[in-house]
Amino acid sequence: MKISVAGQGAFGVKHLEAIAKIDGIEVVSLAGGNPAGTEEVAKKFGIPHWTSDLGESLKQPGLEAVILATPTQMHAKQAEQCMRAGKHVQIEIPMADSLADSERILKVQKETGLIAMAGHTRRFNPSHQWIHKRIKAGELKVQQMNVQTYFFRRTNMNAAGKPRSWTDHLLWHHACHTVDLFQYQTGETVSQCHALQGPLHPELKIAMDMSIGMKTPSGVICALSLSSTTKGPKVRSSATSATTELTLPTMTIWWTATKSRSTSRKSTFR
């Protein structure tokens, strides 16, 4: 399968690293916003074509799909551009930063019949799959999810420690992971939702602290706390033996074993 990646930044590189481990996928083009950086990443991963124009990537012979790892504000326009060109598209989270743009993507997907998917990858983490399989088997019933997404980032830097060309946001960039996972694990759509945010950062103009409460029709609840002012868990890398700060949420799920008389229990995941 021949694909193109749009975005030469931190998450574009993460996609390229993952693709390199999958047989049968060939990255034939890289489209980026920084010409020099795009060329550097393309040469590093052996990508034969690179450009600052997504339209050029879409014209590459045999191209079937595109991964968009570009600034959020560009997602809706680029997703439509890809589908109108007959290409499947995966959009890094969030798929858009407005309801109107999200509905625009959905409309084009229905018109074209192509695959348009958002990168809600957390549901596929082994720990979450472990508990999801037991929920589907009727062995467990979720009562409550408690999630903490904390990382120390008071400047507009990406995961690689480089300046962003766009501004991050706790709500539509990080909270969306938990909103998706909560509905995935419960098999329900949130019926009640309440949110609070702290003061806006004087320069970034975004809230650095936030809390969100959700409830499903059956009564399952989720409490989500997010902060860019608190350091997250420290994780030791087996490759480097170094301890680093990563954006890894701490999640506690209270559940009941439905096939026994045991009392409620909890499991904590990262």
State both tokens at 173: 């960039």
Q: What confidence tens digit (pLDDT) does each residue in 23-74 have?
A: 999 999 999 998 999 999 999 999 999 999 999 999 999 999 999 999 888 9
The predicted model gives 227-251 an average pLDDT of 51
Q: What confidence tens digit (pLDDT) does each residue in 170-208 have?
A: 887 788 889 999 999 999 999 999 999 999 988 888 899
Q: What confidence tens digit (pLDDT) does each residue in 116-175 have?
A: 999 877 888 888 898 899 999 988 888 888 888 887 777 777 666 777 777 778 887 788
**Cβ neighbours of 242 (radius 10 Å):** 8
Burial of 42 (0-12, 13-18, 19+ CB in 10 A): buried
**Cβ neighbours of 111 (radius 10 Å):** 11
Instruction: Give yes or no for residue 100 having a pLDDT over 90.
Output: yes
The per-residue pLDDT for 261 is: 47
Please, which residues have CB within 8 angstroms of residue 94's CB and are 6 or more apart in sequence? Answer: 72, 75, 118, 172, 173, 176
Between 1.10.760.10, 3.30.360.10, 3.30.1330.10, 3.40.50.150, what CATH number should domain 123-269 receive?
3.30.360.10
* Domain boundary assignment for the chain: 2-119, 123-269
Q: Determine contact, residues 4/57, Cβ cutoff 8 Å.
A: yes
The per-residue pLDDT for 233 is: 55
Percent of the chain past pLDDT 90, that is, above it, reads 54
SS3 251: strand
State both tokens at 60: 């590459």
Instruction: Give yes or no for residue 239 having a pLDDT over 80.
Output: no
CATH 3.40.50.720 is held by the domain 2-119: yes
Say what the pTM is: 0.77
